[in-house]
Structure 1
Amino acid sequence: MPPSAGSQVSRVPAQRTPPEELAPPAVTPAPRQPRRRLRTVLTVVAGVVAALCLTGGVVGYFVYDRATTPDRSAPTIVVDSYLRAYLVERNDVRASLFSCEGVAEFETLRRLRDDLAAREERFGTTMWVSWEQFQVNRVDDNAEVRVDLTFAAEVDGIRQSDRQSWTFTTRLNEDWRVCSAAAG
């Protein structure tokens, strides 16, 4: 009700709040931050796994490269590998890995291989080719490799063989390659 004109409003003096009530409210602990320990551990583990995978990939590449690159470190190794590829496996692509590019002279050796194939067909047998006694004469980046080739077959129960001396010329550029072959 509104105060009437003649009435007096009684005023209550302001009361002071007792000191206990002025104290700040009790402190509640701040919400805890989620623990980041698990995230840190997972990040470290992922980093280590990535580093191991990268290292394994690099090592794997070099091991694969070394295992698949033909050995052309010496004239005798190149001649041996060339003979195996050309005469035994009869693989021209593999043999080309051991021969000089563009300057190779192998006509005589090609005729020998064709003759061996013709004899196999004519006599219904298999010709075995082997070699031994490498003799190397090296002058700077060139080397002549003399080797005795042995051709053997069994025809009508009789083992037959023939031995021929061959000279292979090799050249060192980045690695050794066979550049020519000649009988005698």
Structure 2
Amino acid sequence: MPPPAGSQVSRVPAQRTPPEELAPPAVAPAPRQPRRRLRTVLTVVAGVVAVLCLTGGVVGYFVYDRATTLDRSTPAVVVDNYLRAYLVDRNDARSRLFSCEGVSEFETLRRLRDDLAAREERFGTTMWVSWERFQVDRIDGSAEVRVDLTFAAQVDGIRQSDRQSWTFTTRLGEDWRVCSAVPG
């Protein structure tokens, strides 16, 4: 059918709608790569830190245990620990941990310690106590330990010292303990 006369017809070219499969896909941002590398690094670092902390804790425990465990394994060791506790640290409670229970044969050693303290106060100095030459004579479950004790101080710029030999009797029960101390 022709168009009526006098009318204007505008022609629009025919357009065909392309099928959807032929249409270009919508532009979408590229998917972000998961941060697996960062996650892996953090996991490894956390694992290493955990292992180091655990190892440090175990080592710390054993070092602490070894440092705080009393060593009464031999007559010489128990005498050394007793002298350190009694004469150097002047710690009666700790020295009792190295001595025989119910034994009070330490009167001479107590007088020596009191004399050292009195000299320190009188001369305004510090008395240093050291020991050497442990000679151990074992007899079954007991032992005599002979030790040379040295007492030194500096008074008015002059170093003075005194050396005395002492004999300590030790006994073996569950472990070694000091039971008496006498000069000579």
Whether these two folds match at TM > 0.5 is yes
Query: What is the CA–CA distance in structure 1 between the aligned matches of 2:60 and 2:84, rounded to whole Å?
Result: 28
Change (3 A) 1:114 1:63: same
| Residue 86 of structure 2 is aligned to residue 86 of structure 1 | yes
| Residue 180 of structure 2 is aligned to residue 166 of structure 1 | no
- Deviation of 1:65 after TM superposition, in Å, equals 4.5
What is the aligned-residue RMSD (CA, Å)? 2.1
Q: Percent of aligned positions with the same letter in both sequences?
A: 84
1:129-168 maps to which residues of 2 (within 5 A)? 129-168=129-168
- Deviation of 1:58 after TM superposition, in Å, equals 9.8
> Does the 8 Å contact 1:132/1:149 carry over to 2?
yes
Query: What is the CA–CA distance in structure 1 between the aligned matches of 2:180 and 2:105, rounded to whole Å?
Result: 5
Query: What is the CA–CA distance in structure 1 between the aligned matches of 2:161 and 2:119, rounded to whole Å?
Result: 13
Query: What is the CA–CA distance in structure 1 between the aligned matches of 2:105 and 2:166, rounded to whole Å?
Result: 13
- Deviation of 1:183 after TM superposition, in Å, equals 0.5
Which position in structure 1 is the counterpart of 2:110? 110
Query: What is the CA–CA distance in structure 1 between the aligned matches of 2:129 and 2:66, rounded to whole Å?
Result: 28
> Does the 8 Å contact 1:104/1:178 carry over to 2?
no
- Deviation of 1:64 after TM superposition, in Å, equals 5.1
After superposition, the C-alpha distances for 1:121-167 in whole angstroms (9 at most, x for unaligned) are: 00000000000000001001100000000000000111000000000
How many residues were matched structurally? Answer: 131
4+ aligned runs moved over 6 Å, structure 1: 57-63
Q: Which amino acid aligns with 2:137?
A: N
Query: What is the CA–CA distance in structure 1 between the aligned matches of 2:59 and 2:126, rounded to whole Å?
Result: 43
TM-score when normalising by structure 2: 0.65
- Deviation of 1:68 after TM superposition, in Å, equals 2.0
Query: What is the CA–CA distance in structure 2 between the aligned matches of 1:83 and 1:96, rounded to whole Å?
Result: 11
Query: What is the CA–CA distance in structure 2 between the aligned matches of 1:153 and 1:59, rounded to whole Å?
Result: 40
> Does the 8 Å contact 1:129/1:151 carry over to 2?
yes
1:115-130 maps to which residues of 2 (within 5 A)? 115-130=115-130
1:6-25 maps to which residues of 2 (within 5 A)? none
After superposition, the C-alpha distances for 1:28-79 in whole angstroms (9 at most, x for unaligned) are: xxxxxxxxxxxxxxxxxxxxxxxxx9xxx99987775444220000000000
Which position in structure 2 is the counterpart of 1:181? 181
